[in-house]
Structure 1
C-alpha cells in the first residue's frame, strides 16, 4: 500500500472506509475466496465496497486463494480478474503451462516419434500468449523437459518479438538437456532478471556464447549460480564466465566454477556480495598468476569452497589476506595421500590465519563421498580460538576417536554454540568414544544448544545415575538429537538418561538409519530396533509427565 493510501487507511477517509471495516472485509473475502465459484459470485457482489478498489487488497485476496481456485476467481468479475491472473501466472513450476494453456491444442500434432506444428500460430493465439507471459515473474524447470522441449523450441523460433517474458525476474533450469533449450534460454535472459540458476550438463560453443553475454543482457542480476555436473568442464567454462561476471556490479550471491584471475579480483572487490561459492578446479594453482595474500573478502555472510582435495582448498586460502565471513564451508574429496598427511590439521591452521576470529560464527566441513578419513581431536585445536562460534558441523568430514575429556576441551571456548554436529557414525576403527559424561559436559559448557549430532557409547554408565537429572544439567530447548549408530545395550536406561537431560525432546532422530542407500554400518536390525524402543519409551515418559502435571 503506497503512502497516500496508507494515510487514508489509518485516518478512515471515505475513499477507503475505516481501518476496522477494511480489515474485516479483507478477512471475509479471503475466506470466501476458498469457497466454490458460485458462493464467491454471490458473496462478492453482496460485499462489493469501495475498499475493493484498492489494488493491494485485491492482490492480497488473490495471494490467499488456493492455486486451483484462481481461475474461478478470475472469472468471477472484472475486479478480481487482473489480480487473480497475476497470482496464477506469477510463479510457474515448469514451462508446461506456457505450452498447454496459452496455445490451442489443435496447433500441435504428435506423429510417432516426433511432434510437429500443424499450422502457423496466428495473431489471435499470440495475443492470448501475450496476455499471460508478461505476468510471469519466475520459472522453475526441475522435471524431465523432454515432453515440451521441441514445442518450446518451435514456440521460441516463431515468436514475433525478441522477448517472450519481459518481466521475468527469476529463472531456474535444474534438469538435463540444456543444450536443447538454448533458444529459450537466450530469449529468457532479459534485463529484469535478478536471479539465474543453471545446471549445466553438457558443453557446446553455443552455450558458452550465451553464458559470455549474461553480464550484458542481465545487468541487474543479484543471484547467479552455475552448477556444472562434470568437473572436467570447469577449465573450459572459466574464460567465458569471467567476462560475464566482471560486468555484474550488484551481485549479492554468486556460485560458479573456476574463475580466471580477473574474475577473482572482481569478485573480491564487490561490496554487495554476501554469499560466494567457488568450485576449484585441479588446474587452478598451475594457471593462476595471483600473488599469495593478494585477495581479501570483506563483509561476507557465507564463503564456500569445493575442491577435489582438502589441500587444494588450503592452498587457495593462501592467496587470501583477510576473510571476514560469518559462515565458512569446505566441501572436498579426500585423497589417499591426504588421509595420511595431516591435511585437516593444515587446513584448520590456515583457516585460523585467514578468517577474522571475531566475525566467524559457523564452520561446516564435508567429505563428498563420505570416505572414512581418520582425524585426531588435536587437528581441530586451532578452531577453538573462534570464540563466537554458534554452528560447528564436521559430521560428514571425518571419523574421530575422542574421549570425554578431549570433547570437553574442544568445546569449552564455545559458550555461544547452538548447533553441534560432530559425528553420526561409529566406525570400527574408532578406538575411543565419548560417553554420557562427555555429553553432559557439552551441555554444561554450551547451554544454548538446540541441535546435537554425536556418537557416544551408551553402554558405559559408570557414575551415571539413570534416575537423576544429569547431575543438575538439563537442556529444555534442544530440538534435535542425532546419536547415529551409537553403541546401545539397554534402551530403558538410555531413555531414562535422555529424558532427564532433555525433558522436552520428542525423540532421537533416526534419519541416518534410513539413508538412501543405507550405510554399511547402519544395517544392524537389532540396534535399530533398540533405538526405536528408546523413542517409544521417551513418548511414554512424556505422556506420563503430561498426565501428572494435568492432575
Structure 2
C-alpha cells in the first residue's frame, strides 16, 4: 500500500482518467507494503472499452499529475503491430496532449523508458510531454514523410541528454529510397547530442558524417545498427584527423541498401573490427559479391577478433537464383575464433561432406551454425547423415544447427557400429533441416537419437520456393522422425531408476 492506496485503486484511477479504451502498459509502478519498508514493483496493464468521448477536467488532470511521478516506464502499442492490443483513440490523445492545466514541470519526472509503436501524428504532442532528464531508454517509430514527427527529435535531444539505449526506427514507403535531407539532419542532430549512448539502432535511417564521427569517438557505445549505402561515402570522416574510431564497439549491424560493396567501404573506419558483425542486404547480390565481402573482412588487420558473422537477406523473392559453395565461404575459414556463423539467405547452398568437414575443422569453437536458404537447397545439398555426424565431432560446443542435408544417403553408416563411433552432442535441442530429403525415417531417427539424444527435428516448415510436390513426399517422413525421437526418449526415461510411468 502507498498512502492507503492499493494497486487496484490506482488501476481504477487511471480507468476513470481515460474514460475510453486504452492499452497502456505502465511498468515498475512503485508501491509499498503495509509496513512501508518493502518495495514491491508491480506491472499494470489496463484495457478499457470505449464508452464515450473523453473529456478531462481539472480534477482528472490533477489526479493524473499526482500519480505520474511514480511511473518509470511507458509502452504505447499499436494494433497493427500487436494483434491483442487496441489503438489509443484520437480523442484520448488530444486530451492528454492538451491538458486543462499546463504542467508546471516535467510530467513524468521518474520516467526511465519510453516505447512508442504508434506512428499517427496525433500521438506525438503527447509523447513530447513524456520527455525528461532521467529517460535512458527510447524506442520510437517515425514516418520519414511526416515532418511533424521528425520535429519531435530536437525536443528529444534537448530534454533527454542521458539516453543510453535508443531505437529511432524511421519508416518509409520505399525503404530502398535515399533518405531526405530533413530526415538525415534530424536523426544526426539528435544522435550528436547524446554523449552516453551504449546502444543505437536507426533501422533504415541515415546518418551524416558528423554523426558517424561522433559515434566513433564514444567510449560508451557497444552496439550500433545503421543504414549503409553506396551514396554515403563518409569521405570527410576518412579525411578528418581523429583518433581510433569504434574501438569499444561489440556489435555492428549494417543494413546494406543497394550493394554489399557499400559495407566493405565502411570497414576502414574501424580501428578494430567489433567481434560481432551482422549484415542485412536489401538488394540482390551474386555469390562473388558475398565472397568479396568475406575477403575484405578476413584481411582486415583486426579480423582475428571476430566471433560472430551473420548475413540476413531482406530483399524480395524476384532475384535470380544463386548457389553458394564452399568457395563462397572460404575467406572466412581463417577466422578460427568464430563462434557463430549464420547465413540466412534467399539463395541456395551446394555443400558436401568434405565442405562441411572444412567448416568444422576451421571453427572448433563454433556454437551456432546456420546455413539456411529459402529455396532450392534440396536440389544441391550433398551433405549426408555421416557428414553431419563428422561436423558434430569437430564442433563439440555446438548448441544450434540449421542446414540442408540429403538424408537419403545412409548407406555409409555401418550397421554393426554406433553411428560416428560414439559421438554424441547433449547440447543441441533443435535441429532445423529445412528442405532436406529423406527415404527411411526409422533409420534416420535411430541415428539422430544416438548422436543427438535431446534433439527435436524441424524440416519443411518454411521457404516459399521449394517444390510443393517434394514437400508432400518428405514432410510426412520428417514428422515421423520427430514422433520416433519422442518415443525413444520416453523409453529412455522409463529405463531410469525410480521412474514410474503414468
Q: Considering the TM-score relative to the shorter chain, is it more than 0.5?
A: yes
User: Which residue of the partner structure matches residue 306 of structure 2?
Assistant: 360
User: Which residue of the partner structure matches residue 478 of structure 1?
Assistant: 428
User: Which residue of the partner structure matches residue 222 of structure 2?
Assistant: 274
User: Which residue of the partner structure matches residue 527 of structure 1?
Assistant: 474
Deviates more, 1:354-363 or 1:163-172: 354-363
Contact conserved, 1:306 with 1:313, CA < 8 A, in 2? no
C-alpha separation in 2, matches of 1:157 and 1:364: 47
Shift of 1:319: 4.0
User: Which residue of the partner structure matches residue 173 of structure 1?
Assistant: 116
**Cα separation, partners in 2 of 1:212 and 1:312, compared to 1, 3 Å:** farther
User: Which residue of the partner structure matches residue 42 of structure 2?
Assistant: 87
C-alpha separation in 2, matches of 1:377 and 1:297: 32
Deviates more, 1:310-319 or 1:489-498: 310-319
User: Which residue of the partner structure matches residue 55 of structure 1?
Assistant: none
Shift of 1:300: 1.6
Contact conserved, 2:400 with 2:430, CA < 8 A, in 1? yes
**Cα separation, partners in 2 of 1:426 and 1:143, compared to 1, 3 Å:** closer
Deviations 1:74-127 (A, max 9, x none): 7x985469956x6356xxx5xx67xx69xxx9xxx84xxxx463xx612x3233
Instruction: Pick the aligned partner of 2:57 from 107, 121, 125.
Output: 121
Shift of 1:409: 1.1
Instruction: Pick the aligned partner of 2:95 from 154, 157, 175.
Output: 154
Instruction: Pick the aligned partner of 1:376 from 301, 313, 325.
Output: 325
User: Which residue of the partner structure matches residue 137 of structure 2?
Assistant: 195
Contact conserved, 2:256 with 2:263, CA < 8 A, in 1? no
After TM superposition, the score normalised by the length of structure 2 is 0.81
User: Which residue of the partner structure matches residue 389 of structure 1?
Assistant: 338
C-alpha separation in 1, matches of 2:407 and 2:424: 18
Deviates more, 1:369-378 or 1:129-138: 369-378
Matches within 5 A, 1:290-439: 290-291=237-238, 296-335=245-284, 338-339=285-286, 342-354=288-300, 356-369=302-315, 372-396=321-345, 398-423=347-372, 427=376, 430-439=379-388
**Cα separation, partners in 2 of 1:80 and 1:488, compared to 1, 3 Å:** farther
Contact conserved, 1:292 with 1:319, CA < 8 A, in 2? no
Contact conserved, 2:348 with 2:380, CA < 8 A, in 1? no
User: Which residue of the partner structure matches residue 128 of structure 2?
Assistant: 186
Instruction: Pick the aligned partner of 2:71 from 127, 136, 152.
Output: 136
C-alpha separation in 2, matches of 1:355 and 1:420: 25
**Cα separation, partners in 2 of 1:147 and 1:83, compared to 1, 3 Å:** same
Deviations 1:292-322 (A, max 9, x none): 8987321222111002234243343254243
SS in 2 for 1:474: coil
Runs of 4+ that moved beyond 6 A: 292-295
User: Which residue of the partner structure matches residue 218 of structure 1?
Assistant: 160
User: Which residue of the partner structure matches residue 235 of structure 1?
Assistant: 180
SS in 2 for 1:140: strand
Deviations 1:156-178 (A, max 9, x none): 2124215321211111112331x
The number of residues matched between the two structures is: 454
C-alpha separation in 2, matches of 1:476 and 1:429: 27
Shift of 1:436: 1.4
The answer to which structure has the higher helix fraction is: 1
List alignment gaps of at least 5 residues for structure 2: 1-7, 10-24, 80-85
Shift of 1:432: 4.1
Matched, 1:447 2:396: yes
C-alpha separation in 2, matches of 1:135 and 1:154: 21
C-alpha separation in 1, matches of 2:308 and 2:486: 33
List alignment gaps of at least 5 residues for structure 1: 1-35, 38-66
Deviations 1:358-417 (A, max 9, x none): 321111101113655422311211211211111110133632211111121123121111
User: Which residue of the partner structure matches residue 62 of structure 1?
Assistant: none
Deviations 1:501-536 (A, max 9, x none): 11232x2134x61x4xx6242742332111110011
C-alpha separation in 2, matches of 1:289 and 1:449: 43
Deviations 1:325-373 (A, max 9, x none): 12100000233xx337x11011101112337233211111011136554
C-alpha separation in 2, matches of 1:185 and 1:413: 51
Q: CA RMSD in A?
A: 3.3
SS in 2 for 1:368: coil
C-alpha separation in 1, matches of 2:308 and 2:346: 15
Shift of 1:442: 0.9
Shift of 1:439: 0.8
Higher CA-based Rg: 1
SS in 1 for 2:74: strand
Matches within 5 A, 1:19-34: none
SS in 2 for 1:242: helix
C-alpha separation in 2, matches of 1:88 and 1:160: 28
Shift of 1:247: 1.5
C-alpha separation in 1, matches of 2:38 and 2:497: 53
Structure number with the bigger relative contact order (C-alpha 8 A, sep ≥ 6) is 2
User: Which residue of the partner structure matches residue 488 of structure 1?
Assistant: 438
SS in 1 for 2:449: helix
Contact conserved, 2:297 with 2:303, CA < 8 A, in 1? no
SS in 2 for 1:457: coil
C-alpha separation in 2, matches of 1:292 and 1:435: 52
C-alpha separation in 1, matches of 2:271 and 2:379: 36
